[in-house]
Structure 1
Amino acid sequence: MALETRTLGDRPVSAIALGCMNLSHAYDVTPPEAEAVALLNRALDLGVTMLDTAALYGGGENEKLLGRAVMHRRAEFTLASKCVLDMIDGKRSLNGSPAAIAASIDRSLARLGTDHIDLMYLHRLDKAVPIEDSVGALVRAIEAGKIGMVGLSEMSAETIRRAHAVHPVTAVQSEYSPMVRNPEVAVLETCRALGIAFVAFSPVARGMLAGAIRDDAYTPGDIRATMPRFIAPQLAHNLDLVAAFDAAAADAGATPAQLALAWVLSRGDHVIALPGTRSIAHLEEDLATLATPIPAATLAAVDAMFAIQDIAGPRYTAAMQAMIETELLPGEVLA
C-alpha cells in the first residue's frame, strides 16, 4: 500500500512514520513480543516507510526488538535511531562527547543487527560539549558508512543553525501537537528555511488528543504520571479543553487522533508526523488520517483551542525540562 509521502533528505518517506518507543518504554505495559512484532510488520504492510527508535528506549531493548522483528524487511523502510541519551550500566546517561557517540552508534548497530542506520539523531543537547563536536562525531560515522544522515532532537533554532554549518542536518525531531506548540517559536520555520524535515513526535499529545486519557490512574512506570499536565489537579482542567477538540473532530467526521495528525501535517510540507502505538487498530486509525478530509475551517479552529495561558501545568518536570533546549512560548511557565 502506498501512503502520502514527505521528503527526508534525498528520499521520500511516509507522511506518518511510526515511533517505536512505547513498544518497550515509557507508556503503560510493554506488549508481548509477538504483538509488537505483528504491529511493526503491519505498519510496513500498510505503507509506513520510516521507523524510529533510540538507544535509550528500554535500555536498548527497543532496538533489539526491531532487529528481531523487521530487519528481514530492511529494504522497505528508513531506519532512524538516536544517541547521546543512553543507558549505561543500568543508569540513564547524557553524553554528547565524540567518543560516547561513536560507542553508542556501534552498540545500536549491534542491537539492530544491521551495518547501517539511515538517520541518527543527537537525542538531546549535551550542554557540556559544543554541538559542533557532537555533529563532527556523526560526520565521522557517515564517512565510515555506519549512518547516512544527521538528525537533532529537541534543540533550539540557534543550535540547529550551528549544527547545520558543520554538516547538513536532515531532520529535527521535537514534540509538536495542537497542545504543544513550542516549535512554532522558531524551529519550524528554521527547518523550512534550511530544507530540513521536521519530525513531530507525540502528535496526539501522549494520548490526550486521542481519547486515551480520562483520569490519572496510570500503570506504574508510565511517564505521564510524572508530567504536570497529565495529573491532578491540572488534568481535569486540561480535559475540559480537550472536550472542545473532541467535539470538533466528531463534527468533521474524524477521530480525535485523526484531527490531531491532520493538523500537524497541515503545518508545512516539510512536517512528518510520528505517532506511536501498541495497537494495530490504533495504527490503522492513524494511517487512515491520510484518506480523511478535514475541513480547513476545522483545522483553523484548532489553532485557537490550546493557548499556552489556558493549559494547566508545565510540559515537563524541572529535571526533564533541563534537557530540553527548544524555545519556550511567550507566557510559558515552567513551575
Structure 2
Amino acid sequence: MDKRGIGGLSVGAVGLGCMGMTFAYTAGERDDAESVRVIHRAVELGATLIDTSDVYGPFTNEELVGRALRGRRDEVVLATKVGLRIPEGEDNRAMYRDGSPEHIRAAVRESLRRLGTDHIDLYYLHRVDEDVPLEESWGALAELVGQGLVRNLGISDVRPEQVAAAHAIHPVAAVQNELSLWTRDDEVVAWTAENGVGFVPYSPLGRGFLTGTFTSAADLAEDDFRHRLPRFADEALKANLAIVDRVRAVADRHGATPGQVAIAWTLAQGAHVVPIPGTKRVSRLEENCGAADLVLTDADLAELAEVPPPVGTRY
C-alpha cells in the first residue's frame, strides 16, 4: 500500500479504526480472536495507522489492541485518545467530556499500560471540553510530548478556529473529524492542507451505510447504537438509499464495491488525508484496503459531488 504523511508520521494510505471491535457495534457479538486477526492482517497489508481510544468499552478496546500488537508494536503507528469518559456502570449515552489536565495526566499512563507500550505515536484530544480552557488541555498534552510518553498530538471533532488555537500552542499532527460522502467537512480539510496537518476521516463509510448492505433499519441488530441516529431511522434510511445508488453506479464502472468508492472519495480530498474505516472481519478489511488502489476520475468525482444530501442529522 502507498504511504501518506500526516504531520511528521508516515502511514499506509488507509488505516484501521478499531472501535467497533468492542464498542458501539458489537453488543454481545464480540469475537476477539477475529479482531486480532484483522489487526495482524492490517499490518501485513500496510494499513499501519491503528486507531483506538480509552473510552471505547471503556478500556476494552485499548486492551484488545495492546494484545494484538504484542511483538508487532514497532510495525504500526498507534493512535489513541483522551477526553471522553463514561461513568462506571453506565452505557455510552452517559458519556461526558473531561479535558482537565489532571485527567489527561492520569489517563495517558493507564492507556500506556493497557496498550503495553512505553509511548503513544499519536494522542488525540477526543473532544474539546468547553468547561476547560483549550490552552490548559493542550498544554497538558504538550507536557506528555516533553516527557516522551507521546510523540505527536491530534485533536478530534473540531472547527478550524479550534485547531488553529491548539496549533499555536503545540503543533497539531492530525485532525480526526467525520468525513464521508454524506458528512462533508470542507473547511477543516482545507485548513489542514494549508497548514501541513494530517486529516484522518472517521466513519468514511457513513457508519457502514455507504457499503450498500442496509436497506432498512430492520437490518441492524436490536441493540446497535445506530438505531439512535436520525439517518438510520427507517424512513430516513430508505430515502438515503438514493445516495448509495449513485455510489454504486460509480463502483460498477470500476469493478469495485460501493464501500471502496466511498473510501477512495475521501482519499481524493487530499494527499494529507488518511481514512480509518473500521471493521471486525478480515474480508471487509481487505476490501477496504483495496480502495487505496482505486483512482477516481474527474468525471467520477464530479458525479459524486452531486449525490443528494442525507436525510437526518448525524446525531
Mark yes or no: TM-score above 0.5: yes
Q: How does 1:147-186 map to 2 (within 5 A)?
A: 147-181=150-184, 183-184=185-186, 186=187
- Give 3-state SS (helix, strand or coil) of 1:72's partner: coil
Amino acid at match of 2:19: M
Q: How does 1:145-294 map to 2 (within 5 A)?
A: 145-181=148-184, 183-184=185-186, 186-217=187-218, 218-294=220-296
Confirm or deny: 8 A CA contact 1:252 1:298 kept in the other structure: no
Q: Which residue number corresponds to residue 333 of structure 1?
A: none
Q: For 2:255 and 2:301, locate their aligned partners in 1 and report how far apart those are by CA, in whole Å.
A: 13
Q: For 1:99 and 1:129, locate their aligned partners in 2 and report how far apart those are by CA, in whole Å.
A: 11
Deviation at 1:55, TM superposition (A): 0.6
Confirm or deny: 8 A CA contact 1:171 1:198 kept in the other structure: yes
- Give 3-state SS (helix, strand or coil) of 1:80's partner: strand
Unmatched 5+ residue regions in structure 2?
Answer: none
Q: For 1:145 and 1:89, locate their aligned partners in 2 and report how far apart those are by CA, in whole Å.
A: 30
Amino acid at match of 2:9: R
- Give 3-state SS (helix, strand or coil) of 1:133's partner: helix
Of residues 290, 295, 298, the one that matches 1:296 is 298
Q: For 2:298 and 2:238, locate their aligned partners in 1 and report how far apart those are by CA, in whole Å.
A: 29
Q: Which moved more, 1:233-242 or 1:267-276?
A: 233-242
- Give 3-state SS (helix, strand or coil) of 2:47's partner: coil
Deviation at 1:244, TM superposition (A): 2.3
Amino acid at match of 2:145: I
Q: Which residue number corresponds to residue 52 of structure 2?
A: 53
Q: For 1:21 and 1:140, locate their aligned partners in 2 and report how far apart those are by CA, in whole Å.
A: 27
Q: For 1:293 and 1:10, locate their aligned partners in 2 and report how far apart those are by CA, in whole Å.
A: 25
Deviation at 1:70, TM superposition (A): 1.2
Amino acid at match of 1:24: T
Amino acid at match of 2:255: G
Post-superposition Cα deviations, 1:3-44, rounded to whole Å, max 9, x if no partner, equal 111102223101100000000111144432111111111111
Using CA pairs under 8 Å that are at least 6 residues apart, name the structure with larger relative contact order, 1 or 2.
2
Post-superposition Cα deviations, 1:223-250, rounded to whole Å, max 9, x if no partner, equal 2110000112211111133222212211
Deviation at 1:288, TM superposition (A): 1.2
Amino acid at match of 1:234: A
TM-score of the superposition, structure 1-length normalised? 0.89
Deviation at 1:171, TM superposition (A): 0.3
Confirm or deny: 8 A CA contact 1:178 1:306 kept in the other structure: no
- Give 3-state SS (helix, strand or coil) of 1:271's partner: coil
Amino acid at match of 1:54: S
- Give 3-state SS (helix, strand or coil) of 2:177's partner: strand
- Give 3-state SS (helix, strand or coil) of 2:86's partner: strand
Of residues 3, 6, 9, the one that matches 1:8 is 6
Post-superposition Cα deviations, 1:171-225, rounded to whole Å, max 9, x if no partner, equal 00000011111x21x2111111111000011111111111222111222332211
Q: For 1:125 and 1:11, locate their aligned partners in 2 and report how far apart those are by CA, in whole Å.
A: 23
- Give 3-state SS (helix, strand or coil) of 2:175's partner: strand
Q: For 2:286 and 2:121, locate their aligned partners in 1 and report how far apart those are by CA, in whole Å.
A: 25
Deviation at 1:306, TM superposition (A): 3.0
Confirm or deny: 8 A CA contact 1:109 1:116 kept in the other structure: yes
| Count of residue pairs brought into register by the alignment | 309
Q: Which moved more, 1:245-254 or 1:158-167?
A: 245-254
Of residues 94, 110, 113, the one that matches 2:113 is 110
Q: Which moved more, 1:93-102 or 1:156-165?
A: 93-102
- Give 3-state SS (helix, strand or coil) of 2:43's partner: helix
- Residues 1:123 and 2:122 are matched in the alignment: no
Q: For 1:71 and 1:211, locate their aligned partners in 2 and report how far apart those are by CA, in whole Å.
A: 35
- Give 3-state SS (helix, strand or coil) of 1:71's partner: coil
Q: For 1:212 and 1:98, locate their aligned partners in 2 and report how far apart those are by CA, in whole Å.
A: 42
- Residues 1:135 and 2:133 are matched in the alignment: no
